[in-house]
A and B are shown apart, each in its own frame.
Chain A
């Protein structure tokens, strides 16, 4: 009934065979800037390995040579050497840990930054469909998984590889027959590793996705918690959450079951190799072809040999979790922005403000240009011209496409067909920033950021002085209530704008738009939740501010649109009537009907 995570990936690039290897190579590429540090880490790993190997040798000599021979001086000397070895080992370990830890953390920070940057490039079309919580999970939980990989995982792999090469040489040199026998299980180990890796990657991918689902659910429910409480829905919501939560738990348990089964499997194969060596070696000894000493030494080698093999194999399996996470991260980073500045994008100079729609059609489907019946057209062949400084009112029933129309002016979406041009330039040919920085928008939902009121107003123009912020607040009629607050402009407002009423939030949003001093102003039902008295003041202020700017007003009150230079009446995505208020009344069509309705119902005092 409620929507699962299946459709999710449709928006992001699909996984392909070989994706894992590519993701792995890309992750390694993140380490490239630290080549020098990594070389140092390599050296330190060697030093630490030598120190670890040297200690038992020194202890052995101390017992065999010094203590057995009662040579106190030699014992002292050996013990001092041992102390030195320990100290060197500790110092190497510490430096290696510091270097690797820092590299890991820097890489993660860089990745997070890159993901965030890529999010800033994506259009509303993307955000309309991608649950915020899932995106957050990619940025936080998925990067966190990589931490282990970049932290100590790589060091362990390097250490294991060193040991392996040394042992390989020693074994072949000692007895290449026995060496071959002990390597006999290697193909089996490789095969097993491969099989488990593939299985675990699938399982780990599921863990990442289900965690994304959990995140998405949390995010949505926190955002809507007041509605949930108002409708006493908390018990049902908890059940719903518990389901996704359980899916995540089960996915993790499944993934771990696979990795937990893998280690024993390799261990059994390693034991098999030991048994083979002992059996073949025993036969050789019995045949007089080898000595007991060689076989014993070989058994030690085999044990030593399979330890790093096991470590490597198990690293490879658990690294699948990192791979699954990195796939999700890279999928996000790689999502092509569908609204890109063309290479030869024009930087719009200060515009006059002519806005032209040429036969614009639009739908909210996934891709621009592809149109199927599943995503109905929201706008059909809309065409009009707004001259610089004109006020355009857009009216029509809810769902007629009013908001969509104004969204196209700022190129928040690309048109499906036709073109939108500002001062004669197609909006797709200009630098987005140069277009939007000359537009002011007050949206239906007045979203404010956590921070002070001054910061929120200044969002409209970051370099505005305090005086300018206050001026904008005055113009938006917000100054008065702000001054009454305990900390005035420095009053902190929460993410959900607590302590401010909806109307007050809207005033702040208007001030923010005014501070931007836009050439084109868009008001999307901006005055709807302010009381009539405040609204009248705002409108008076806006009227003066609209002067000299092209403005588009979506207001459901016909009274606000009466003064417009052009009224567009939208119905089901088409402009059905256009003209001035007077012309449209004379037309006696849809507009006239809406207007009549308003008067029939509203102003009983108007005539009193």
Chain B
């Protein structure tokens, strides 16, 4: 409920709209009260009195009121919608910005389907409350207060009797809110599960189809769907008694008034006219009470939605700019790791498995560093720490002597060009994709970057060249083509520090050769980190770091390592074996032994 109250803060910039909606609601109510009187006058003063002119005039007045009421009720509908849509718009933008800003470690755990559910469904729950329920809530409370005053003025005893309906209604409302609230939470949670299955099914459609697992997926979805249905029906059942009970209580109020009022009439304490009048006013009290019952469910759902929205907005960003973070000036490119240890989700937790242990090295400006090691040895982790995708668990990473945690993320990452293993491209044109890191780049720069990444030739051959749309609605690119676009994307930023995570592996030997030639030129003058599985790439590096179990097992130049490191020799050997067959025989043996 606190989240719901907090969400009202989003209304503040739109207070004129909110006011307009509220005022027009009041005007509509007033018009509704006036029309019957005019109608009454038409009958009494017009027809009964036999005056055509009065009849005509009042008729025109009635039409005029209808027109005005129509105009005002349009204003009310429009303002409410504009208000609620604006709030939803702001919340979605905020959520989107937050999701974009949350650290890698958050996204490692978060599920796309769950995030999507919050940004669409939960926002919608809150929006529909702001658009309809909130206004009704305000007017219901106002009407209740007003009618209570009127009723007491009319007949204190009967008013006191009817007042009993208010706490009774409140008790019922609170009781049912307690009952359905957890159910609504479960609905949203299960909706998230359902959407996650769906999202995964769509993202992994190739795997699903390759393994002919469509029936299994359908069954998985069905199970989650039924889980959601169960909770939905439970909620329907939970709520089913609420409305009738609240209606019943209001009706019992009427019953009590007539009954007790009847006896008051018998005693002469009340006239029949007074009783009828009181009964008429009672309707004014009952109406908002019933309305409260109706919007109760809406309020509860909105509260759940608000809570889930703020869960994301309040999610601690593990990697954020410090309050005193300064922009990093153009760097020379000296990267130093000082006793760096790292474990995923191991902040201050020594027990958690560490991926990196006390890694120290220095990359001088312009040096190329090759990182070698078995899969899972922490290669990707090292390069993820340089642009500060994660914060170190212990030790520090510095660039030109500045701890990466002391500078602004934007200024840091702007100077780093990265080609990740995951060559995610976005739907849009090829040009947009290459210019991803520099949206204002000129076409000439884009083409130059593409040329350097050996992508120009195949792009030029596409039907629309650089304007060819790729992604979900466009041309399908091969893995190698995607990779070269990703490389061009990194090169266009003209970074001081270049990071290549195994980026040439899905390219054929010919293209790889060309790319490496291009990269060799481009790496000149930049500090570069390359995770490569090929000795050919590695041997020309200034510094080779061999990782084993999260520690630096050996470091040095190719020649040094050949002399000094048995592990390096082994890796070289397996690469060598790749060509001559000896290494494979050796590993065959190893496999048989294991």
Contact string against B for A residues 76-119, beta-carbon threshold 8 Å, 1 for contact and 0 otherwise:
10010011001101110111011001100110110011001101
A-B contact count (CB 8 A): 554
A402, chain B: closest CB distance, angstroms: 7
B375 at the interface (CB under 8 A from A): yes
Q: B493 an interface residue at 8 Å Cβ cutoff?
A: yes
Which chain A residue lies CB-closest to B204?
A447
Inter-chain CA distance A79–B201, complex, in Å, is: 61
Interface size on A, residues (CB 8 A): 193
Q: Does B456 contact A (CB under 8 A)?
A: no
The verdict on A534 contacting B374 (CB below 8 Å), with A231-B436, A245-B93 known, is: yes
Question: By the criterion CB–CB under 8 Å, are B212 and A87 in contact?
Answer: no
What chain B residues lie within 8 Å of A268 (beta carbons)? Answer: 63, 66-67, 70
Residues B47-72 near A (CB distance < 8 A): 47-48, 50, 52, 55-56, 59-60, 62-63, 65-67, 69-71
Cα A113 to Cα B515 in complex, Å, equals 48
Q: Once the chains are docked, how many angstroms separate the CA of A67 from the CA of B472?
A: 76
Contact of A67 among B82, B216, B272, B427 (CB under 8 A): B272
Asked if A532 and B578 sit within 8 Å, CB to CB, the answer is: yes
B413 within 8 A of partner (CB): yes
Residues of B within 8 A of A (CB-CB), count = 194
Write out, one digit per residue, whether chain B residues 350-362 have a CB within 8 A of any chain A CB (1) or not (0): 0001000000000
> With A131-B427, A537-B591 known to touch, is A98 a contact of B216 (CB < 8 Å)?
no
**B93 / chain A contacts, CB cutoff of 8 Å:** 238, 241-242, 245
* Closest beta carbon of chain B to A373's beta carbon, Å: 8
* Minimum Cβ distance to chain B for residue A312 (Å): 18
Given contacts A63-B276, A295-B43, whether A252 and B228 have CB atoms under 8 Å apart is no
Asked if A136 CB lies within 8 Å of chain B CBs, one says yes
| Interface secondary structure of B, over-half rule | helix
Find out whether the CB atom of A481 lies under 8 angstroms from the CB atom of B209: no
Q: Is the CB of B428 within 8 A of A3?
A: yes
CA distance A69 to B570 in the complex (A): 112
Taking the complex as formed, is B155 at the interface, i.e. its CB lies under 8 A from any CB of chain A? no
Interface residues of A in 345-366 (CB under 8 A from B): 364
- In this assembly, does B162 line the interface, its C-beta being within 8 Å of a C-beta of chain A? no
Chain A residues in 8 Å Cβ range of B562: 605
Is there contact, CB below 8 Å, between B47 and A281? yes
Docked-complex contact B513 and A597, CB < 8 angstroms = yes
Q: Output the least CB separation between B310 and chain A (Å).
A: 18
* B111→A495 contact, CB < 8 A: yes
Q: Say yes or no for B39: interface residue by CB 8 A criterion.
A: yes
In the complex, A376→B97 CA distance in Å?
39
B533 CB–A CB distance under 8 Å: yes
- A398: interface (CB < 8 Å): yes
Per-residue contact bits, chain A 195-233, to B (CB 8 Å; 1 contact, 0 not): 000000000000000010011101111111111111111
Determine if B327 is an interface residue (Cβ-Cβ < 8 Å).
Answer: no
**When the two chains form their complex, are residues B195 and A140 in contact, meaning their CB atoms are under 8 A apart?**
yes
Neighbour of A265 across the interface among B70, B218, B439, B570, CB < 8 A: B70
Q: Which residues of A contact B389 (CB under 8 A)?
A: 226, 229-230
Distance in angstroms between the alpha carbons of A136 and B218 in the assembled complex = 15
A480 to B591, CA, bound (A): 11
| A424 CB, min distance to chain B CBs, angstroms | 21
Chain A residues in 8 Å Cβ range of B513: 597, 601
Instruction: Say how far B72's CB is from chain A's closest CB, in angstroms.
Output: 8
Of all chain B residues, which has the CB nearest A296?
B43
B311 nearest CB across to chain A (Å): 16
Distance in angstroms between the alpha carbons of A128 and B409 in the assembled complex: 35
B116 at the interface (CB under 8 A from A): yes
Contact A540 B584 (CB under 8 A): yes
When the two chains form their complex, are residues B204 and A536 in contact, meaning their CB atoms are under 8 A apart?
no
Q: Is the CB of A93 within 8 A of B120?
A: no
Q: Which residues of B contact A490 (CB under 8 A)?
A: none
- Shortest distance between the CB of A446 and any CB in chain B (Å): 9
> Is A436's beta carbon under 8 Å from chain B?
yes
Are B579 and A556 within 8 A (Cβ)?
no
Given A128-B476, A222-B115, answer yes or no on A231-B437 (Cβ-Cβ < 8 Å): yes
> Closest residue of chain A to B478, judged by CB?
A399
CA distance A462 to B217 in the complex (A): 12
Name the segment of B145-153, B167-175, B501-509 touching the other chain.
Answer: B501-509
Instruction: Check A137 for interface membership: any CB of B closer than 8 A.
Output: yes
Of all A-B residue pairs in the complex, the 5 with the closest CB atoms, nearest first, are A398-B480, A503-B375, A264-B70, A260-B77, A101-B236
A-B contact pairs, 7 of them (CB 8 A): A62-B262, A211-B120, A220-B426, A249-B88, A257-B74, A495-B200, A529-B506
